[in-house]
């Protein structure tokens, strides 16, 4: 990092000031916590224990945000970011490129534990009993992201967004992108311009398809490759529109499906709900255990997901697909208990108290909760606990290396 004046500004800090800080613990969001005259500062590009010079980027009532722009005393786990764009004021996609890969797993496990204690209401002993660790997936920390969405600037250059802004940073490549995506000639470095596009979406499927789509004014055009791609998971081929949701790490679908089935341990003939079910990954995995004729109800709101589920699960007569928001399906009794097993895979905001209470009322013997945000997961765990349920087991996976994100699969059981 650059050499800077380490003298803190006098008086109240303003945006752009540079101050010297001693960095404390990691926090949810890809930053660490420091203090400046008693005020909390969330510092990116830092590690616990470091002494840094940080530039103030945002001021809020009660806290500040800052980027570490110089490291005076580096932590042992600091490494040089492999990507030249993983720096302050440049691309905001990767939060942890300055952290050694093994230490990233520890960082994320610390975040999960902290959220379960602070938001989930678990005691330190209860958190310790879960034995929280984060497991790396095969393939290493680079070259894994099979779907990349590039923003387009006013000059028609495709790039990635600066942290917490809509400012496009033109890049010549993205190192976490799958090689099938990374090698596409869509970026400005290859001379490509997108004068009519607002977004360029790229997909490299596990079936070998590579697709480029351009989006503008709410409409999408397939520029290159097939409009429908093939993914392979849980022993099946999945035919999906290129824009349909699918896990971005090539090993994620099988990893998560395996964790869900292992934790729920379905028995032949048991019934199940697959909520926020998408194209039906978990429904298919459960059907292999409960039997093709056992009753499985999949609920999905997105039309593209509903169509994909109906197309890909047509060989499973026991699967019913309900096109509705989960909250609506439960409130209007479009799905009703009793039910033995539930898979809950909500969006980043979590399921919410209403959905959790409805599930408790349906009295399943077990719920597998697949969570992409540990804070939302912890809040929902607190709601389950208030109804007498317990978090009996937890697995966590590094589906998004180099970023702050971590995926959890929790087993919730009635008390």
For the question of residue 372 being annotated catalytic, the response is: yes
The annotation status of 300 as a binding-site residue, yes or no, is yes
Q: Is 63 annotated as a binding residue?
A: no
Cα–Cα distance for residue pair 85/152, rounded to 1 Å: 17
Tokens of 275: 């909520």
345 known ligand binder: yes
Secondary structure of the chain in the HEC alphabet?
CCCCCCCCCCCCCCCCCEEEEECCCEECCCEEEEEECCEEEEEECCCCCCEEEEEEEEEECCEEEEEEEEEEECCCCECCCCCCCCCCCCECCCCCCCECHHHHHHHHHHHHHHHHHHCCCCCHHHHHHHCCCEEECCCCCCCCECEEEEEECCCCCEEEEECCCCCEEECCCCCCECHHHHCCCCCHHHCCCCCCCCEEEEEECCCCCEEEEEEECCEEEEEECCCEEEEEECCEEEEEECCCCCCCCCCHHHHHHHHHHHHHCCCCCCCEEEECCCCCHHHHHHHHHHCCCCCEEEEECCHHHHHHHHHHCCCCCCEEEEECCHHHHHHCCCCCCCCCEEEECCCCCCCCHHHHHHHHHHCCCEEEEEECCHHHHHHHHHHHHHCCEEEEEEEEEECCCCCCCCEEEEEEEEC
**Catalytic-labelled residue, pool 32, 83, 174, 372:** 372
> Is residue 58 part of an annotated ligand binding site?
no
Angle at which helix 101-118 crosses helix 374-386, to 10 degrees, equals: 30
How far apart CA 53 and CA 68 sit, in angstroms, is 6
Query: Which residue ranges are tagged as binding site for S-adenosyl-L-methionine?
Result: 247, 276, 300, 345
Q: Which residues are catalytic?
A: 372
Query: Which residue ranges are tagged as binding site?
Result: 247, 276, 300, 345
């Amino acid at each position: 990092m650059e050499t800077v004046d380490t003298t803190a500004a006098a008086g109240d800090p303003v945006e752009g000031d540079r101050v010297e800080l001693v960095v404390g613990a990691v926090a949810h969001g890809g930053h660490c916590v420091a203090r400046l005259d008693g005020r909390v500062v969330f510092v990116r590009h830092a590690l616990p224990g470091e002494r840094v010079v940080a530039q103030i980027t945002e001021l809020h009532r009660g806290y500040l945000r800052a980027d570490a722009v110089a490291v005076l005393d580096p932590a042992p786990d600091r490494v040089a970011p492999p990507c030249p764009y993983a720096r302050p004021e440049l691309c905001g996609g990767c939060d942890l490129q300055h952290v050694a890969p093994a230490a990233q797993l520890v960082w994320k496990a610390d975040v999960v534990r902290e959220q379960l204690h602070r938001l989930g209401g678990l005691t330190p002993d209860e958190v310790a009993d879960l034995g929280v660790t984060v497991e790396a997936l095969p393939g290493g920390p680079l070259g894994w992201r099979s779907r990349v969405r590039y923003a387009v600037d006013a000059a028609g250059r495709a790039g990635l967004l600066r942290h917490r802004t809509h400012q496009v940073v033109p890049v010549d490549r993205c190192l976490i992108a799958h090689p099938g995506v990374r090698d596409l000639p869509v970026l400005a470095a290859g001379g490509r311009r997108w004068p009519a596009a607002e977004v360029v979406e790229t997909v490299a499927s596990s079936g070998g398809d590579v697709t480029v789509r351009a989006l503008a004014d709410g409409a999408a055009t397939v520029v290159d490759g097939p409009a429908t791609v093939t993914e392979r998971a849980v022993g099946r081929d999945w035919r999906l529109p290129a824009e349909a949701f699918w896990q971005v790490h090539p090993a994620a679908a099988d990893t998560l499906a395996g964790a869900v089935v292992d934790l729920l341990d379905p028995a032949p003939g048991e019934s199940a709900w697959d909520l926020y079910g998408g194209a039906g990954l978990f429904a298919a995995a459960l059907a292999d255990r409960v039997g093709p004729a056992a009753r499985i109800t999949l609920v999905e709101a997105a039309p593209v997901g509903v169509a994909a589920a109906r197309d890909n699960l047509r060989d499973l007569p026991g699967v019913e697909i309900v096109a509705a928001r989960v909250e609506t399906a439960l409130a209007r009794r479009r799905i009703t208990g009793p039910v033995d097993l539930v898979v809950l895979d909500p969006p980043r905001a979590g399921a919410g108290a209403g959905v959790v209470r409805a599930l408790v009322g349906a009295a399943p013997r077990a719920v597998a909760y697949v969570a992409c945000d540990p804070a939302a997961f912890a809040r929902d765990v607190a709601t389950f606990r208030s109804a007498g349920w317990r978090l009996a087991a937890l697995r966590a996976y590094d589906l998004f290396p180099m970023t702050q994100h971590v995926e959890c699969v929790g087993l919730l059981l009635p008390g």
